[in-house]
């Protein structure tokens, strides 16, 4: 039960990080997906990069506490669910008007 609670909290943390990096991109890493007469469709990678950096930091802390074998799968599940939810909500996708 404790693992499920911590996984849910990590999911929220990863999702908020993904959203924050998508709405206020600190690095401005973007990829042009398509160009149309209405505008340019881009994807901002900042949310994904921040989420992965946070994931690596959490795994590092788990490794230092010698809890990697028990906690890493739950952390990976939380990261995967947050990424799926973020992409389903189209976080990071942006249309720039011309």
Name the more confident of 68 and 90.
90
pLDDT tens figures, 15-61: 999 999 999 999 999 999 999 888 999 999 999 999 999 999 999 99
Q: What gap in Å lies between CA 41 and CA 31, rounded to an integer?
A: 9
E strand intervals along 1-38: 30-36
90: tokens are 């189209």
* Three-state DSSP class for residue 5: helix
Q: Mean pLDDT over residues 56-76, rounded?
A: 93
pLDDT score, position 68? 83
Q: What gap in Å lies between CA 85 and CA 37, rounded to an integer?
A: 30
Q: What gap in Å lies between CA 85 and CA 66, rounded to an integer?
A: 30
Yes or no: say if 18 and 47 are a contact pair by the CB < 8 Å rule: yes
């Amino acid at each position: 039960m404790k693992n499920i609670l911590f996984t849910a909290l990590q999911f929220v943390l990863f999702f908020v990080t993904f959203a924050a990096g998508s709405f206020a991109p600190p690095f401005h890493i973007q990829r042009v997906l398509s160009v149309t007469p209405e505008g340019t469709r881009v994807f901002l990678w900042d949310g994904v990069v921040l989420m992965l950096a946070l994931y690596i930091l959490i795994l590092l802390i788990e490794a230092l506490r010698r809890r990697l074998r028990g906690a890493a799968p739950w952390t990976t599940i939380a990261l995967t669910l947050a990424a799926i939810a973020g992409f389903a909500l189209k976080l990071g996708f942006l249309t720039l008007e011309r």
